[in-house]
Structure formats: C-alpha cells, structure tokens
Chain A
C-alpha cells in the first residue's frame, strides 16, 4: 500500500521557503565566486608574459627542489622486553567501567583506541551510548593538566602530599569543618576511602550533588515509602508507558538500559508476536523520547503537575482541590484517554516524570501505586545508585562556607562554579575557605579557584569500581599508563589520611575480597576477566501508597501558578540536557560537540527552541537572536523553530557556555544553569521568564537542512492496527523498473548486507560516535558544518510528519493550512552508504576509484580518487563526504587528528584520508577482513556474528543488523525477510544492500 503521508525534514522544507528552494538547487552552501572571475574586470585581466614565465620557472624550480628531498628513513623500534600478552598488530581487550556500565577497552600496542560495551554488562548488554564511545578521546585531551598544581604553579606529588598533610593537621587542630564535594559516588572503594579519611579527620562530611539533580524523586520515595533511593524501572515489563517530561531514552537516569528495555517491547521479535507496547509522552520540548512516542502531547511545565493530579483523579485517586487544565483541551482529552488505557493495563503500566519537584514525584508514586506498578514495572528493592545527590545538603554547605565554618574543601568530579545555579554565591563563599583542593583533570571553573589541583586519572588509567544498581558491581582497570602526571583521587585521600594502605589498587583488592568477592565466590582474576559481579537480585516488593495528598496538591498548584505568571512576552522556560553534551562535563569532547542533536540536528551550540506558530506571534523568525530573561539572569541565544514545542514555552539545553572546559568546549553556546531555581530545597528545571528580540541573527550549524528529499517516499511507517491486518502495510513497494544499465554479477562468497529496523532505532546517535572512533573520521568544527561539510559516514535523518490518526495529510498545501504544528511525529532513519549492487556512483567515477567488490561492497580507493565529486553528485542517498582539507595536518582544524596526543586514538587499521578525496561508509571493511582472516587462521567457516560493524556493535537497541546475505541462516537474512522490509528509493533500481523495516506506531484514534 502506497503511503501518502507527507514527511519533511525541517520547517524550511515544509514551507518551501525561498531561501530553501534556492539552496536546494545548489551543490554548495556558499556560492562559488564565479561572477567575480567572469565579470568584466576578471575577464580583462591580463597576466603579463614575464610574470607568467617567472611563476612557471619558480614553480618548476620548487617542484624540482621538493623532488630532490631524500626518502625519509623510518625507524622500527621493538620492545626491549615485550609483554607476553601483546603482539604488535593484534588488539587486546580489557574490561573496565564507564559510568556504571561494564565496557571492553580495545587497545593497540598499549593505547586504548575504542570503547565497546561488555556483553556481560547487566545494564547495557554489550551496547554503549555516544558519551561512552566518545570517552576514549578524553583520555588524550590536551586541555588536561600535565601534572599537579600548587598555588598556580606546577608541583610534584611529594610537594602536594607534604603541603596537604600539614594543612589538614592544622585544620584538624583548628576543629573546623572539612567537606568533600562530589557528584554521585557509587563506587564502594571510593566510599570506603572517604570513610577512612573521615575517620582520620572526624569533622569531614561527604556532600554529593549532581549537576542535574534527582533529589526530588529520592525525597518523594522517602516520603511515600520510606526509601530514599531511585527505583529501578523495568520498561521491558511495561505494555503502556506514560511519561511526563522524562527523557528516559536520552538522558533520564539510565538511558542505555531503558532504551534496550523499551525497544524489547517494540522490536521485530515483539511485532512477530503481534504485540507492541504503547508510549504516551507529555512534554514541553521535543526530546529524543518524545520523538519516539506513539502519542506525544505538548505540555507546559506549569501544566505538568496539574495534569498528573488530573490523571490521579481520573484513575480513581482520592484528591481534593484539583483544577482543570486551562487552555489545553487536547491535553485534557489525552489525560482522560491515558487514564482509561492505564486502568486497562494495570500491573503492566508505568508512569514516570522528569520533574525534580518532590510534590510532583509524590503524585507519580501515588499513581504508580494505584496502577500496581510496584513489584512489576518498578523495583524499589533493587534500587539504582546512579544518582544520589542532595541539593539541600549542597545549599547548606554553601551556607556553612559563608558562615566561615569550613576550613577545607575537596572537589571530586564536581564543578559547582559552573553547575550551581547561583555560581556567584558559591564562589564568594568558597573564597572564605582556607584550603581548597580540586581533583579535576583540568583547570576548570572550580579548580581555577583552588590552591591545589591534584588531577585525577581518566578512568582508562585508573583502578576503581562501581555499584550502579543494587547487587551489580563492576571493576575499572587501567588500560594504559597515565598519559599525563595524574594520580587517583582516592590514593590522595589515603595518603593524606595516613592510611596503612596507600596503594589504591591494593586498597580496592582488599575491599573486594572482604565484600563482593567473598559473597559471590568469584576470584579477583575472574572479576578482571568478566568485568562485573552480579549478586542474586532481591524480589521486588509491592508497595502501597497511603499518604494524604492535600498539602502536595496545594504546593503543586502554587508552583504551577508561579510558573504561569505570564506577563508581557512571558514564557515558561524549560531547561533540559541534550543527548550529546548532557550536563556539560564532557563539553571539551569534539566528537560529542559535533554529534547533531537527535531532534534539532544542531551541532556546536545550544539555542532557544520555540514553537513556530508561537514565534510568529512574537514576531520572531528562525535564527534571530533573542534575549531570555529572568529577574536574576539573562542570555542571548539564537532561535530554533521546533515543531512540537509547547506554545508559550522555550527550551534551552544545559552543558554549554563553559568558560574553562578546554580548547574545544570553552565558549560554545550559553550557560543555562543559572536559570535553575531552588524551590522547596530542590533545583527546578523550569522557570518563568520573558523573551524579547535582540538585534542580529546567528547561523546555527545544523546538519539536517543540508539535503533535500524532493518529496520522495523515503521513510515508511504504519500503525499497529494496519500492521496486524497486513504486515506489509506501509512498505509501499513501488513499481521497480526492470530496465537496467548494469550487468548482473555473481557473488559466490559473501554478500555483505544490512538491515535497519526503524521501529527499534531511537535516534540516540551512539552509532555516529562509534563510527567516528572506528573509522578515524575527522571533526570539522562549527564553520565547516555550516558549509555542509560534516564528515560523518553515518547520519541519522529525522523526518517530521503530522500525526492525525488515519486521516493522512496527503497534500502539502493541507499541511500549510494546519493551525498548529503541535501534533507532530518524528521518524529517525540511520542513513549511510547503501552499498548498492548497481551503484550510480561507480559508473561516473572517471578514474575507477570507487568500484564494487565481489562481496557486495562499494569500495573506495582513496589514493585513486582525484576529487571530481561526480560520485557525490550521482549518489541518490547523499552519503558521500568530501575532504575539503587535510584535517589531520591543518592547524585550522585543531580538533583531535592534528595533535600528537589526541591522534593516539586513531585506528591504525584505517587510513587517514587526505585533502581532495571522497570518502564514505566502508561497512567497516577492516572489521570484515579481520573477521575473515580469523576464520581462515582457525581453519573454520565464518560464523554469523563473527563480524560486527561498529554502528551495529554499539547500538543500544540492536536496530542495526549486519551480516552475510548469502547465508540464509544469518540474522540479517532473517531480518530482511521480514514483511516490513523495504529499500529506500527502490524504484530507481540501484539495488541497495541496506534494507529498512517500517516504523510501526501504536496509535489509537481519539
């Protein structure tokens, strides 16, 4: 069935603005200066004969001289004593832990070059998110400190230890307080080290504070059930998920784990069982999670609490003094519908909220208890320790400093001078502390205010452990000697507190053999090999809710009123984390900065997201600069028109506007932390503000507007109802012309193909960073992205469509007439070289630099390429990338390939491409060759799954499957046999090697 739903890549395309129409015709973002050359002056320019000859002679001379250069002598320096486990040329893998997820670190000749998820990891099951993939680059970051710093001067560790022991002794005799401020610590050994330190200096207290706080939830759980923890959510057990602003696929608590769970109810296996979960999202800005929802409703921050109260009431909860949702009849209808569905799905449903307001979270708890979620979709007995920060404790700490009660403070993985909403109050208070120590790896905003900076190891250099959820313990082991002169923070604490064990490695080993190893009967070696220990889980108990909600209701209504106070140009400001940069700790990572936001596709900046119709009302156009102002703080940001954004609201991302992040991350975007509001001892992510147009515009570096789909039917989707009737629904198999320009060739060996399930892809972008790391893809920077010159081999295209049940919007004029763009739905489509069997790019290459292999790969021989770019022009999928510069040898692109430290991350099996050369997805041919060779060396057949390409390996939801299409038993062959399979642009008969499975949406007609 041909789908006649209309998709558009962005508003420019939807409205077909003049600018867009103009641009879509041009090959380059910037016009070529042909006029300048061809104008009269240009044409009448005379090159004097003598000058010409001079230039010619000089050129010839220069070339001759250059050719006289001796061939460089290459040295080959073997190990003096080769470590037994290292064979040059063969990678070694070590287990470690990133952010509580067990990972495998791939090292070549002793240097980590790639991080991959550990298949044994309970949370990720072998996948990894974009941040984890990018973390290896931070290891070599040149903006890090090269050694410890004492009073702004380079120091030795002996000096630091001597100085601190002396100072701490004075503090101890003085009797004043010592504070260790950190983000959440869930490492048992770090906790033990802090406890030992506290035993030596009894005035010490450990204050945990997270940049983005979950205090509200923790307190609500304490209030409701007496357990001050974050529960473990089980999205894999929920048939119906209703989320109020919780971006659980992108940033909320444990997105990697949640993505896997969520998609397990929506992937091919689930659909073959004729089942699919349903997901309703109420939210302000368009988040990654909202873009995946079956039904998404824009909701202002002020309406969130009210909506939840109404939902509770509709479910039969006893409530007094609620109020209806004014001015949002759609939401009200949706709440009623959600209530009906939730009641039907009791015991298999889940309601979550991204709010940090205790009252709102109490209502959420009440709803979940009413639905019987505890014990099924929510597990309070095996809680998550991923976040444990307490806002109130930190505020109290600032007060203590102000009162002069604190004499010493240590900052561990915490940067309040940037992350705290009232940074000035914090820095003023900090100046009253005598001894200030930071463990930051760089001179960041807080560390630069400290006397001592004792740089901590990167996790790939250090020993450590982690306990992200109850009963799951992981180990961090070093994969390289410290790159710079850094030291474990814990080791410092042990030394300064005169601990009998000062070697942190020994300390961890002692700690583990006492506790987890003894309990589980594992040995230390087994632990290092496996990476983690899982203790048997406790059974999840059922909890009932029995609190009185009167005061909660009053607080919610009061807070709602204060948010919605309006006024002239009044808006509700919503502060969020985006998927790549998050809280801004890794802001100096160029891979993350260049990773496009999953929805807006903006790189290298944050922006003010506004609903297009609302912006029109305010007289604001796209890319205008606007000033967003509260009584305390204001910023000027460019506008991004975001369909689906709640009217009357503006969303701004955190993590930008750092001033001391380093070369790549400083002065990128604007800081939004000061907009956070401390209400009832928790930091709130929304506030009421005003917006006004500032002068000027600002060009955001967006990737999605770079190509146009010319109204072609590229993404296909259907509804669950139609799918159940006809599994091929929505595939829209077009008439394929049998006429063919190309000859058929046998592929007797392998036939490498790929299957991508659009229903499993959430659009998180982990594959993009994994591809960057695997294939040495350069980072080009903001200016070059603006010129459409980003180099990513895999991109995730985001398409909008108007979601209107069965009433498909069939004509583009109809879309124009739509009153609002609230009810918009999104499809994410990973797009890379399709390795067409009849590839149009191959035909037009004048030098045969791109040819086909007998295994179905579209190969690219860089050294043959002369850069005509005909292939890119002839590629129907626009996946070819041209090297406009020598990114690895050009000081203008000082990202990572151009630096002797950061280029250590390059994969030695993949060539770095030179200027003037075309490149594109190679299907990780180096991995294919390595996998084949391994089979040949073992004298065995190649097994399905032996070769995993980088994007597939890291995908949190297994949306990408790669394998041999000639093997009927391979996973990819089975996936491609699915009735949902279609090929992009199959009507042009280029026979792509990548098949897509249609997106299925579980929509219900209202």
Chain B
C-alpha cells in the first residue's frame, strides 16, 4: 500500500510541477530582463539584500526612484572606490551601515540594469496562482500528494463503477431474454444449464483431489504471505513520520544543491551523522526567510527556528527562552548493532544516497532502505573495498593478492561479515 501511495504521490507531484512550470514560464515571458535580473539577484545579492526587508543591507524596494541609474551602476560595480572618490551622495549612502558593500566588477551594465528592473518589478509571485506556488515551494503546510482518503475514494469509485457495469450487464441480459421471449424462443434450456452449473460445483466439492489442491494452494498462499509478513516485522522501509519542522531535503539538497556534509558534518568524522544544531540553520536563515512566498512575512517553518532559538528578527538578538527541536528519528538501528558513518562515508566513499535513497528529491524524508542485517550483509558481500591511496589497507591487499589473484576484494573478504564488526 505504501508503495502505491508513494507512486501516486510522485505522479501527482510531477503533474503539479509541470503545470506550475508552464504557468511560470508563460508569466515570465513578459519581463525578460527582470527575469535575468532575478537570477543574478538570487546569486549575488540575496546574501545581504531583500526587496521588501532589510537584511544586512537596506531593503531595495524603491531604490530605483531614490537614486538615478548612473549612480546605481557605479555603486554596485565598486562601491568602496565610489565612496573613496568622495561623491557626496555615495558618502551619505555609505553611512547606512559600517559594513561596506562588496564590489561586483564582474557585473556588466546590462546585468545591473536587469537587476534594477527586477527590483522594480519584484517577484512574479502575485501573478501566479498562490496554490501552485505553495505546492512548488515544497515543505508547505499541507502534504502534497494522495492522502489515504483519496486513495480509498478512488477504490470506491472503481468498485462502484464495476457494480454499475455488473448491474448494466444484468439489465442487458434481462432485456435480451425479454426480447427472446417475445420472439418465442424457449428459455427452459438456459435454466437447465444453470442447474448444471451448480451441479458441477457440487460435484467439484466432492472431488477430493480438487479439495486437496485448493487446500494446498491456500496453505501455500497464506504461508508465503505469513512468511513475508514475518520478515517484514520490524522493518520500517518507507517510515515517514511528520516532523516538527517541515524541512524539505528536496529544496535544500535538490534545488539549492547544498552539500550533505554542510549540515550533517558528523557523517564524515563520527559514527553519528548528527542532525545539525540550529546555529547551522542560522548561517543561512539569518537572512533567507522565504518571505517572497509568504507575502513579505517570514515562512512559518523558518519562524520555528527563530522560536526555538528565541531569536528576535528585528533586533537580531537571541533570547534566553530557548526550546529544542524534537525531531522524530527515522532510521532506528537496534542498540545491538554498531554503525559508524565515517567508516562508510569517508573511508569507503559511499554516497549518502546508497542507503538513504534519492534524498535530494524527498519533500519529507522516509526510510528508504530496510536497514536489516540481510541488507547490510548483501552490500558487504558486493561492495569492493576502497583501498586506493589508503596505506592502511596495503598489507591486507598485498596478502590477499597473493592468496587469490584477480578476485574482487569486497568488504566481506576483509572480515566485513564478522560479528564483531557491528556487534559488541
């Protein structure tokens, strides 16, 4: 059931995405230079500037009316030089903050004009259907996809349709019979056939071989279902709890391509990959508030970070009244198994996705792998040891080469299946 629902989710998601994209492209066609400006703005400016809100630098709305274009061109290209030149307006502008704006010599005049055009227009958001925008943003209030209710609804529709078809069939049959009756064809024959059919069933039920066959079949069927069920006990593939913050890996790792280790730094050095502490979130969310999607207000999910840290956005001060974020743990290895991330990530060089699945596409994280011992062992049997440029393995590899020329050196060969690799 889980896999069906997942399938439905991905299908609907992609449908919605396609529709959103088509709307967005249609919309942006009218403001070509603003769109180009938006791209540059996101790349170069958002670290310090917002359109509606002051971040490190001032809010930029109305900057085009406050200053003329020539001034802005000079200022954006190289503000320190501009100030140093002694321009009265530039000196006045520089008093906004002690932090100096960095120079962007790589930007052409056209680029800057595009940026100004973008700042004038702002985000194309209002023109877009708000629902689609929300769906596209990901990690929004309601989970996208097919809920169980919808699923059952669909099933019900199918069943009802089936019933309707049955009833219609019956009606057709009756009508046909009526027609035949009108034509004067005898219908006793059919009744006899009906009787015969029941008799056949009765006869079958007395056939011991047939009964044995049925019983055997059901035993095999139920047994294998039971066996499978037993194996699945305690395996939580697909486990997808609702998290306190609707954090989207799809947005962070997929769209923004933030490296996994930026947040899960422990994975490279420790047994625990570790969930990032909130100060890591604040590195970006100090100014990334996603306000463009919430009509100028900070995203309610990002607000949760601020609440947890008791952070005041206006004064930029941290308070005392902090509250930890209680994430729900998805990957639960039993206590009796020792697992070390750094061994797999740093030493073996295994991609996170190998065990955690396509994390960069997950709106909400779910358990991708079964995390059973069988699954571990299978991988240890197949995965070759990453021994290149690691002198630790030199002796082992040499000894192994001597023993078995040409065979793959898998983790299993180097003792990767031994109990005390994981159990102590």
By a beta-carbon cutoff of 8 Å, the part of chain A in contact with chain B is 71, 73-82, 87-90, 746, 748-749, 851, 853-855, 857, 859-864, 909-912, 922, 925-926, 929, 932-933, 935-937, 939-942
Contact = CB atoms under 8 A, between A and B. Distances in A.
Contacts of A854: 414-415, 418
5 nearest CB pairs, A to B: A748-B399, A89-B270, A82-B277, A89-B272, A79-B277
Interface string B27-65: 000000000000000000000000000000000000000
Given A80-B308, A911-B335, A941 B275 contact: no
Contact of B340 (A861, A864, A933): A933
B403 interface: yes
A71 B236 contact: yes
Contacts of B324: 77-78, 80
B309 interface: yes
Interface string B290-332: 0000000000000000001100000000000010111111001
Given A88-B270, A89-B271, A933-B342, A80 B309 contact: yes
B22 interface: no
Interface string B348-387: 0000000000000000000000000000000000000000
Contact of A941 (B277, B391, B423): B391
A937 B328 CA distance: 30
Given A71-B236, A78-B274, A909-B338, A937 B269 contact: yes
A863 B329 contact: no
B407 interface: no
19 contacts: A75-B327, A77-B326, A78-B276, A81-B277, A81-B309, A88-B272, A88-B274, A749-B395, A749-B396, A853-B419, A860-B420, A911-B424, A925-B424, A926-B338, A926-B424, A932-B392, A935-B392, A936-B390, A941-B392
A88 B335 CA distance: 16
B424 A936 contact: no
B332 A74 contact: yes
A939 B391 contact: yes
Given A89-B266, A749-B396, A929-B338, 15 more contacts: A76-B329, A80-B277, A80-B324, A87-B269, A88-B266, A89-B271, A853-B415, A854-B414, A859-B418, A859-B419, A860-B420, A862-B423, A911-B423, A933-B343, A937-B346
Contacts of A81: 277-279, 309
B419 A748 contact: no
Contacts of A912: 335
Contacts of B343: 933, 936
A73 B328 CA distance: 7
A76 B236 CA distance: 17
Given A78-B276, A922-B420, A940 B391 contact: yes
Contacts of B341: 89
A859 B420 contact: yes
Contacts of A911: 335-336, 423-424
A76 B277 CA distance: 11
A851 B421 CA distance: 12
A929 B396 CA distance: 16
Contacts of B266: 87-89
B229 to A, nearest CB: 12
B269 A90 contact: yes
B389 interface: yes
Nearest to B419: A861
Contacts of A935: 392
A909 B234 CA distance: 23
A941 B419 contact: no
Nearest to B236: A71
Contacts of B389: 939
A90 to B, nearest CB: 5
B200 interface: no
A831 to B, nearest CB: 21
A807 to B, nearest CB: 49
A857 B420 contact: yes
Interface string B394-411: 111001100100000000
Contact of B403 (A80, A746, A909, A926): A746
A80 B347 contact: no
A contacts with B: majority SS: loop
B241 interface: yes
B392 A939 contact: yes
Contacts of A939: 389-392
A749 B326 CA distance: 43
B256 to A, nearest CB: 20
B265 interface: yes
Contacts of A937: 269, 342, 346-347
Contacts of B424: 859-860, 909-911, 922, 925-926, 929
Contacts of A78: 274-278, 324-325, 327
A746 to B, nearest CB: 7
Contacts of B322: 80
Contacts of B332: 74
Contacts of A748: 395-396, 399-400, 403
Contacts of A922: 420, 424
Contacts of A859: 418-420, 423-424
A933 B269 CA distance: 10
A276 B334 CA distance: 53
B403 A76 contact: no
A1001 B400 CA distance: 46
Nearest to B389: A939
A82 B279 contact: yes
A749 B399 contact: yes
A925 B420 CA distance: 7
A107 to B, nearest CB: 14
A919 to B, nearest CB: 10
Contact of A933 (B326, B347, B415, B419): B347
Contacts of B393: 936
Contacts of B418: 851, 853-854, 859
B415 A855 contact: yes
Nearest to A848: B419
A910 B322 CA distance: 33
Given A74-B329, A75-B328, A941-B395, A749 B423 contact: no
A131 to B, nearest CB: 27
Contact of A940 (B274, B280, B329, B392): B392
A862 to B, nearest CB: 6
Interface string B233-258: 01010000100000000000000000
B286 to A, nearest CB: 13
Nearest to A912: B335
Contact of B328 (A74, A851, A940): A74
A65 to B, nearest CB: 16
B415 A863 contact: no
A749 B277 contact: no
Contacts of B334: 863
A911 to B, nearest CB: 5
B328 A76 contact: yes
A113 to B, nearest CB: 15
Contacts of A749: 395-396, 399, 414-415
A75 B335 contact: no
B244 to A, nearest CB: 10
Contacts of A910: 424
Contacts of B277: 78-82
Given A748-B396, A911-B336, A925-B424, A75 B329 contact: yes
Given A75-B329, A80-B322, A87 B415 contact: no
Contacts of A82: 277, 279-280
Identify which of B338, B393, B424 gathers the most chain A CB atoms within 10 Å of its CB.
B424
Contacts of A864: 419
A936 B347 contact: yes
Contacts of B403: 746, 748
Contacts of A73: 241, 328-329
B64 to A, nearest CB: 40
A716 B377 CA distance: 45
B125 to A, nearest CB: 32
